[in-house]
A and B are shown apart, each in its own frame.
Chain A
């Protein structure tokens, strides 16, 4: 391939762009199909008192296809979810070497998906009883996506005149992949530690995080990892095969369409007219809006994406530095999984059998404490960027009237869930439909709407790939019994209630640095909860502390999913966001300390 394009880098770039445009259209189409499916389910239930047995499974299949066919779209730009903090500080030669290493890991990850996925198609067997389709069909998308990822990477590097580096990366990636399948190293490093180490190295070299995870899972094979390539792909697909996760593309789409229809700008106009004249008024309003939205959605990732698509650009337009605006959005989105409904509390309840009702009730209280701490941080860190003239009463009324349709979105979601008409996922789909209607009413035109579908599809693919690619790591941590080792160590220290709570908090903060919240809850909650109960701490209070703690991990490098999502949507570099989020991180740690004290005293 290099020979054909070496003479014409322009042709290589054009072909890459053509492939990306086609995949963008496919992703937009899959998202539209997913939306139609979920809406049809609601319509069937209420219009025809009927259900479709395969709806949930088909939704998952569409989401999986969307994630992997969209994977080649997040090679460059902020959707790549790269941590560039170290690479930026390297001298020029080091930076180039790091780029070669990073690309080699992308090559290895693409090979895992393409070859592993291809083998699963042949090996899996079985027919989905609900859909009547071969189960292996689900893995065609990872196989295809891996192959296309490789093609797009090669074409882009040739187009950028980096053919030599590409040759090195291809050779190194192929060698790593082949060697990891052929070698068996003497036992020493546990496979999960090997995976973690390789992922960290990849991250330091600036490889996209999902690629680092996938390549590291493959590189853990010689260390005795029980996951061969095909099982890595199967675990990755399994990690994102949760129907609840399909809410993410819908909230992303709603965010995009809200902007297209002009409604997002109106919400911010209203906010500005109400509190814009105050110190950091707009950021406070973004926070308040996030609090209100938390009552409607249970996914912090979805809300981070939503806020990043809607409020971050408006904050920037009103004079906020882009990184600080993104940091406000990322920090506020933590509240989503604390203020009910909350996917995190549901996972916790399932993992530990804690009662859902009291968890949600305490979630309200905890969310309030966290919101107040964030408000204080916004107030204290405000610069002079927010001084707007005080609005007249008539102006405020006009702004409120114009923002009413957009505010109706919150009502649709909240009422839909609270009145028991729809589930969380369906509410997300209704939100997307509502914003689509807003676009129709505003005569936004077909082109911007189609672009919003493509954009949301690409973003959902990047986020889904990250969630999925963390699953092999979680698998190895579980097999190596890492959680059990930690708990027996903590048990041996003989600490009191305060000591246990402090130790567990510190441990969970460390866990939250690198692990996705869902996996962290499933892995660690059943282990640390008995420790807390034995120390005399109320299990529900402890559960709330645990969720708040792990949610804070969404803001910390290297794996701060909320920061990475905001970075992906806003194109603000992750390193800049991690720096800008520090004051809010401090505020949330204060909130965590207050909640921990509450758990001890109440």
Chain B
């Protein structure tokens, strides 16, 4: 059997790992005994960036990635990360299923990442120690951000001070007050028990965390046409399963957070939030293929 090493960042019972069990089972059903999946959970093979590098160097054959993890190789994928560009999950799905999605897949293939389908990790929401519903209320606060110019630029636009803190230090930093706020998906909010230190979640949904099911080009190129078709179909079914699992996980997560004292708030003055984000669109227009492309994506769906 052909061996393939699959890396997952989270535990055995998480959608990130379950999706690979699903894909493995379908491949096994279609091509019995042809492939041996070694699915390694719990980020035991490294974080997202290390796994992406390992894939380029031939040590890992498949994994899920957020598009931002692949931005170093294909900067255009940051189109899917632009803040306040997408209305909801269906909007994202319409974009990645269309020609724009195909173009991004081609760019990823050129960099050694074969991505049969896109996945949706859910939206990032604003998490704060005190209630924040309007953009002016975040001004002057220290917000923990991902170490990416896109995120730094977004929160600076609202007058907040971006603080770069690695995720293992984040809980402590929010507890002690090095940072007053951060942004994350609902699943991760509950997963890291951050409701204990940032009890207010404002449903800004400012960034739709999109990702891909990806295989290394070296592995993919070694497959026959028939095998590729099986992997492609299995990946698409896996992506659909992942998205459904994430929706269910988000509902469970937010219920758990609320049981533990979290308050869910609705953002006010959406126009002002979007106005702040437009500066990011301008800054990234050249990187992601022009303002016209951004506007086209915005009006889709």
Give residues in A with beta carbon < 8 Å to B: 41, 45, 49-57, 120, 123-130, 135, 226-228, 230-231, 234-235, 238-239, 241-244, 341, 343, 346-347, 349-351, 353, 355-357, 417-425, 471, 474-475, 478-479, 481, 522-523, 526
Q: How far is the CA of A341 from the CA of B178 in the complex (A)?
A: 15
A54-B147 contact in complex given A478-B40, A526-B42, C-beta closer than 8 Å: yes
Residues of A within 8 A of B71 (CB): 129
A356 and B147 within 8 A (CB)? no
A244-B176 contact in complex given A45-B163, A50-B161, A475-B45, C-beta closer than 8 Å: no
Residues of B within 8 A of A123 (CB): 56-57
Q: Is B167 interfacial (CB-CB < 8 Å)? A: yes
B57 and A126 within 8 A (CB)? no
Q: Is B242 interfacial (CB-CB < 8 Å)? A: no
CB of B141 to closest CB in A, whole Å: 10
B161 and A129 within 8 A (CB)? no
A125-B50 contact in complex given A51-B145, A54-B147, C-beta closer than 8 Å: no
| Residue of B3, B68, B171, B172 ringed by the most chain A CB atoms within 10 A | B172
Partner of A238, one of B53, B145, B177: B53
Contact with A along B101-126 (1 / 0, CB 8 A): 00000000001100000000000000
CB of A169 to closest CB in B, whole Å: 28
A-B contact pairs, 8 of them (CB 8 A): A45-B163, A55-B164, A125-B73, A129-B71, A231-B57, A235-B54, A355-B196, A475-B45
Residues of B within 8 A of A228 (CB): 57-59
Q: How far is the CA of A49 from the CA of B139 in the complex (A)?
A: 11
Q: Is B149 interfacial (CB-CB < 8 Å)? A: yes
| Residue of A55, A356, A418 ringed by the most chain B CB atoms within 10 A | A356
Residues of A within 8 A of B49 (CB): 238
A53 and B147 within 8 A (CB)? yes
Q: How far is the CA of A269 from the CA of B58 in the complex (A)?
A: 57
Q: How far is the CA of A231 from the CA of B50 in the complex (A)?
A: 10
Partner of A349, one of B73, B149, B171: B171
Q: How far is the CA of A36 from the CA of B192 in the complex (A)?
A: 31
Ranked 6 nearest A-B pairs via Cβ: A420-B177, A420-B176, A478-B44, A231-B59, A238-B50, A126-B72
Partner of B169, one of A55, A346, A351, A357: A346
CB of A241 to closest CB in B, whole Å: 7
A481 and B147 within 8 A (CB)? no
B178 and A422 within 8 A (CB)? yes
Partner of B59, one of A227, A241, A351, A419: A227
Q: How far is the CA of A241 from the CA of B46 in the complex (A)?
A: 10
CB of B65 to closest CB in A, whole Å: 13
Give residues in B with beta carbon < 8 Å to A: 3, 5, 11-12, 38, 40-47, 49-50, 53-54, 56-60, 68, 71-73, 75, 78, 111-112, 140, 142, 145, 147-152, 156, 161-169, 171-173, 175-178, 191-193, 196
How many A-B contacts are there with CB distance less than 8 Å?
170
A130 and B147 within 8 A (CB)? yes
A475 and B147 within 8 A (CB)? no
The secondary structure that dominates the A interface is helix
Partner of B57, one of A49, A56, A230: A230
A53-B148 contact in complex given A125-B56, A127-B72, A135-B72, C-beta closer than 8 Å: yes
Residues of A within 8 A of B40 (CB): 478-479, 481
A353 and B191 within 8 A (CB)? yes
| Residue of B161, B164, B193 ringed by the most chain A CB atoms within 10 A | B164
Q: How far is the CA of A526 from the CA of B56 in the complex (A)?
A: 28
Residues of B within 8 A of A356 (CB): 171-172, 193, 196
Partner of A51, one of B12, B57, B163, B166: B163
B169 and A424 within 8 A (CB)? yes
Partner of B149, one of A130, A357, A425: A130
B178 and A478 within 8 A (CB)? no
Chain B residue at minimal CB-CB distance from A350: B168
Partner of B148, one of A124, A130, A238: A130
Q: How far is the CA of A423 from the CA of B41 in the complex (A)?
A: 29
B168 and A523 within 8 A (CB)? no
B147 and A57 within 8 A (CB)? yes
Residues of A within 8 A of B152 (CB): 51, 53
B172 and A244 within 8 A (CB)? no
Residues of A within 8 A of B41 (CB): 526
Q: How far is the CA of A349 from the CA of B41 in the complex (A)?
A: 16
Residues of B within 8 A of A235 (CB): 46, 50, 54, 59
Q: How far is the CA of A357 from the CA of B72 in the complex (A)?
A: 36
B145 and A124 within 8 A (CB)? no
Q: How far is the CA of A580 from the CA of B38 in the complex (A)?
A: 43
B171 and A120 within 8 A (CB)? no
CB of A286 to closest CB in B, whole Å: 27
CB of B216 to closest CB in A, whole Å: 11
CB of B138 to closest CB in A, whole Å: 13
Residues of B within 8 A of A481 (CB): 38, 40
A341-B163 contact in complex given A130-B147, A422-B178, C-beta closer than 8 Å: no
